[in-house]
Amino acid sequence: MKKQHISKKWSILALLLTLTQATVAFAGSQPSQIEQVIKNTVSAYGGNHLLNLKSLALEEKYIGFSDGQSTDPDEVDKGDYHVKVAVDFKNGRKDFRWIRGNKASYSIMHQLYNGNTGYRIDHDAKTKSQSSGLNFANVDRRHLYSLDAFLVKLMHENGTSAKYDGEINLYGDRHHQVSFQAEGYPEMTLYIDQKTNLVTKMKRAHWVPGQFYYYHYSLPEKAQHIQYATDTYVTRNGQPYSVTVSRRVQVKDLPDSYFDLPENYNDAPESLDFSEMSVQQIAENTYLAGKGWGFSIFVDVGSYFVAAGGYDGLTERYKAMKAFAGLDKPLKYFVVSHHHTDHLGGMAEVAKLGANFITVGEHIARIREMAETDLPDGRFITIDKQSNFFDGVLRVIDFPNGHSTHNLMSYFPASQVLFSADFYITRQKEGVPYGHSGLQKFKKLLVAEDIQVELFAAAHSGRVLTADDFEKSLKKTRESNCPQYWEICTAM
């Protein structure tokens, strides 16, 4: 009886401590400058209303720009997006519903983190799969970074990591600069207006060294005691990345069932684990090496290697392949598939390894930019539509498609191996990928040119598909459908 009494007292004390967390943290001594800045910012965003939020939902339409990932290297494509991110702060759950596209053509994505485990939910195939790479911080594809109120809450929760980076004049007003680090998040720097105590800008690093994302928050509004920007404009490496079209923030409690997995969904086919470097010989003189999302093909052409698959980490793959094959020959030629930033991540390595670039003229500028070094014209060999190399050992085929205006496929006639990027892949243990119109067009080209492909290797997977798989894929089509129970689907 007595024991119970004590524990009750303690729980009341604990509750009081939680309720006054913000003040208690700074009690006893004068708050430091950083503590004062965080305190003022939190109170501008709703004080305890913000800190004690049980749940939050951000729904918005926005436009995204694909600088570096557009179909044409000389233009920046735009895309329509509609997203809803719901957060259950109490149980550490987060749900992410995303429509890419519009009525004319769209695809959807659904990811959920239930406090312990991350899931990808496929509403077309009616399957769910656990994903060890998903956590509370990234399950929404970092979308909540566009909500200033969420970042202020995050900064407060990680106040001990926060540091004051001095003042700066922004848009003509004095701003504080505060950096902080939360688990699972990149370091973020918030720019806080000294007059309003509102965040007007945030900075975080891009994976490309020396490049940054900037988030600009404007048109502040207050709803249900919570302050937030109704417009967020994001730039990446100085170029437009996304901009809000319309935004709605709800802080009313979401029903518990909101975070449930859909009923009667089967487990998705198992995925392959590419977390470790792997090398396989897929045909005579032909090796596929890679890990994560980056794979390269290396073909032994006699006194040197020719390769394709330009993700960063090329040197590591090259080394692993040479150790596996027991061969030490130089890399002399490298086929660049297309101009997208991720597939050019290894261009500095190609340059350093001394290989020549096989590409189209339209991509040279982007390759030079990513190679971080001056490359003489002699290092580039350009093709027009198709070219044969090394006495017919390699045939490079330019296949323009919806993904990029030029997309070079590397075909090795002796082994009938074709290596492609962002075109025909699967990362599943079994089964074949869905077909698409590009695949149908490619089939026509293969027939017209009388090209036999036995094996399909790709830049994003260690699984090699067969001619038989390809035929099956041509017949396997998918239709996107937006689930009836998603609010954002009814608004499309």
Which chain residues interact with Zn ion by CB under 5 A?
340, 422
Residue closer to Zn ion, measured from CB, 371 or 458: 458
Rounded to a whole number of angstroms, the minimum distance from the CB of residue 75 to Zn ion is 15
Angle between helices 437-449 and 467-475 in degrees, nearest 10: 130
Rounded to a whole number of angstroms, the minimum distance from the CB of residue 485 to Zn ion is 33
Cβ burial 232-263 (10 Å sphere, 16+ → b, else e): bbbbbeeebbbbbeebebbbeebeeeebeeee
Q: Identify the CA nearest to 175 among candidates 197, 153, 155.
A: 197
Residue closer to Zn ion, measured from CB, 320 or 370: 370
Q: Identify the CA nearest to 492 among candidates 59, 60, 57, 82.
A: 82
Q: Is 54:90 a contact under the CB 8 Å cutoff?
A: yes
Minimal CB distance residue for Zn ion? 340
Question: What is the rounded distance in angstroms from the CA atom of residue 22 to the CA atom of residue 48?
Answer: 8
Residues facing 247 on adjacent strands: 60
Q: Is 142:40 a contact under the CB 8 Å cutoff?
A: no
Rounded to a whole number of angstroms, the minimum distance from the CB of residue 426 to Zn ion is 16
User: Furthest-apart CA pair in the chain: how many Å?
Assistant: 91
123: left (phi over 0), alpha (psi -120 to 50) or beta: alpha
Rounded to a whole number of angstroms, the minimum distance from the CB of residue 419 to Zn ion is 14
Rounded to a whole number of angstroms, the minimum distance from the CB of residue 425 to Zn ion is 11
Residue closer to Zn ion, measured from CB, 119 or 442: 442
Rounded to a whole number of angstroms, the minimum distance from the CB of residue 422 to Zn ion is 4
Residue closer to Zn ion, measured from CB, 42 or 344: 344
Question: What is the rounded distance in angstroms from the CA atom of residue 44 to the CA atom of residue 46?
Answer: 6
Residue closer to Zn ion, measured from CB, 25 or 208: 208
Strand order in the sheet with 331-335: 278-283, 286-291, 294-300, 305-308, 331-335, 356-359, 380-382
Rounded to a whole number of angstroms, the minimum distance from the CB of residue 436 to Zn ion is 14
**Which DSSP category does 312 fall into?**
S
Rounded to a whole number of angstroms, the minimum distance from the CB of residue 121 to Zn ion is 25
| Start-end of H helices in 326-436 | 347-353, 364-371
Residue closer to Zn ion, measured from CB, 249 or 360: 360
Question: What is the rounded distance in angstroms from the CA atom of residue 121 to the CA atom of residue 97?
Answer: 10
Residue closer to Zn ion, measured from CB, 70 or 189: 70
Question: What is the rounded distance in angstroms from the CA atom of residue 414 to the CA atom of residue 282?
Answer: 12
Rounded to a whole number of angstroms, the minimum distance from the CB of residue 100 to Zn ion is 15
Residue closer to Zn ion, measured from CB, 396 or 458: 458
Q: Is 324:289 a contact under the CB 8 Å cutoff?
A: yes
Rounded to a whole number of angstroms, the minimum distance from the CB of residue 343 to Zn ion is 6
Please report which helix (H) or strand (E) contains residue 176, including its range: strand 173-180
Residue closer to Zn ion, measured from CB, 286 or 404: 404
Residue closer to Zn ion, measured from CB, 199 or 458: 458
Residue closer to Zn ion, measured from CB, 69 or 197: 69
Rounded to a whole number of angstroms, the minimum distance from the CB of residue 37 to Zn ion is 42
Residue corresponding to tokens 């928050």: 217
Question: What is the rounded distance in angstroms from the CA atom of residue 278 to the CA atom of residue 90?
Answer: 41
**Which DSSP category does 155 fall into?**
H
Residues facing 65 on adjacent strands: 78
Question: What is the rounded distance in angstroms from the CA atom of residue 375 to the CA atom of residue 369?
Answer: 10
Residue corresponding to tokens 């006639």: 413
Residue closer to Zn ion, measured from CB, 84 or 340: 340
Rounded to a whole number of angstroms, the minimum distance from the CB of residue 342 to Zn ion is 7
How many CB atoms are located within 10 Å of the residue 427 CB? 16
